Amino acid sequence: MKFLQYGIDAPYAVTHLILAGLALMGVGWAMQFVYPVAMTKIGLMITFFIVGAGWSLLYTAALMVFSSCFSKRHLAKKIIAKLQLQGNESILDIGCGSGLFMIEAAKKLSTGKAIGLDCWVKKDQLKNSPYHTLRNIDRENVYDKTALVTGDMRYLPFKDHYFDVIISNLALHNLSSSQARTKVIEEAVRIVKPGGRILFIDFQYTKEYSTELSKILMKNVHRSKLNFIVCPPVRLVSAEVQSPKI
Ligand SMILES: C[S@@+](CC[C@H](N)C(=O)[O-])C[C@H]1O[C@@H](n2cnc3c(N)ncnc32)[C@H](O)[C@@H]1O
């Protein structure tokens, strides 16, 4: 199914939301049979609250699925278009998963290359595997402009100042400690070229990313407003590396 091509983010979280939503709806429905709950004003209010909470969990799960299947693609197209790539860049997608951002970037390249790095955590994305990403690469006909690397984003296996653009969507927040997230940011700064760009898109910790990037003396560090096109809403943190003075 084409709409599932890029997987579903956080499938366990989506499943938990659906189960909890259905459980609350079930409790709300069963309460009408409990005498005297159904007969009192307070009982009806509690039932209404429980059913409402159930609906909101199911609605959030539906939005998350819709976001993974449709709106995330729109976001990726928009962000990659904004980069105004020349075609000869080397690009790294950290935590590429099924390859959406890497493939979108590769479509804009001629002589350049887009590399995706991931360690393929199943709980972070449905069908997460290099095999699945390679199928997407093949489907989108960008085989000669992409490469996949299996690795941990805290230890990026690339030489210093190698990439023109580093991008990462919804990946860094998966590291639970701020030291680990800072390590990824330091690694990204190490491997980006002078004059290159770094973009982190995430729904958590974006203040931390922009603070860390500013500390490392990146230029034009910018943290966007919340973007509600996807669920959960995300911010884009972008920064440029200072070019050496001639
Ligand atoms: C929510 S998915 C997002 C995938 C992709 N960026 C996208 O937008 O579709 C998060 C990704 O981060 C990857 N990931 C989590 N921890 C990682 C780590 N320590 N090193 C590399 N990748 C990691 C997961 O395997 C998963 O593919």
Over residues 122-141, the pLDDT tens digits come to: 999 998 999 999 999 999 99
User: Is the pLDDT higher at 167 or at 2?
Assistant: 167
Alpha helices (H) along the chain: 11-31, 41-66, 72-82, 100-106, 130-139, 178-191, 206-215
User: In whole angstroms, what is the distance from residue 139 CA to residue 100 CA?
Assistant: 12
Does 119 sit in the ligand 1 pocket, CB within 6 Å?
Answer: yes
Q: Report the amino acid identity of residue 101.
A: F
- What mean pLDDT comes out for the span 165-175? 98
Ligand 1 atom nearest the C-alpha of 153 is 20
C-alpha 28 – ligand 1 centre gap (Å): 37
Phi-psi region of 98 (alpha: psi -120 to 50; beta: other; left: phi over 0): alpha
- Residue 222 Cα to ligand 1 midpoint, Å, equals 23
Between CA 138 and CA 244 the distance in angstroms is: 39
CA-nearest residue, atom 16 of ligand 1: 174
pLDDT value, residue 43: 80
Dihedral angle over CA of 92, 140, 150, 233, nearest 10: 60
CA distance 140 to 108: 12
CA 121 to ligand 1 centroid distance, Å: 7
Going from the Cα of 176 to the center of ligand 1, the distance in angstroms, rounded, reads 13
- The helix/strand count (H/E) of the chain reads as 7, 7
CA of 107 to the centre of ligand 1 (A): 21
Average pLDDT, the chain: 94
Are 88 and 109 in contact, with CB atoms under 8 Å apart? yes
Average pLDDT on 215-229 reads: 90
37 Cβ closer than 6 Å to some ligand 1 atom? no
Which atom of ligand 1 is nearest to 121's Cα?
A: 25
Does residue 37 register a pLDDT over 80?
Answer: no
Q: Is 128 in the pocket of ligand 1 (CB under 6 A)?
A: yes
**Above pLDDT 90, what percent of the chain?**
83
Tell me the CA–centroid distance for residue 170 and ligand 1, in Å: 7
Q: In this predicted model, which residue has the larger pLDDT, 180 or 32?
A: 180
Q: Taking phi first (over 0 means left), then psi (-120 to 50 degrees means alpha), and beta for anything else, what does residue 53 get? A: alpha
Q: What CA dihedral angle connects 186, 191, 193 and 195, to 10 degrees?
A: -20
Q: For residue 7, which of 73, 60, 82 has the smallest C-alpha distance?
A: 73
Q: Which atom of ligand 1 is nearest to the CA of 93?
A: 6
Work out which ligand 1 atom sits closest to the CA atom of 10: 1
The pLDDT confidence band at residue 36, using thresholds 50, 70 and 90, is low
* Residue range 65-99, pLDDT digits in tens: 999 999 999 999 999 999 999 999 999 999 999 99
Interatomic CA distance for residues 180 and 6, integer angstroms: 26
| Residue indicated by tokens 């984003």 | 153
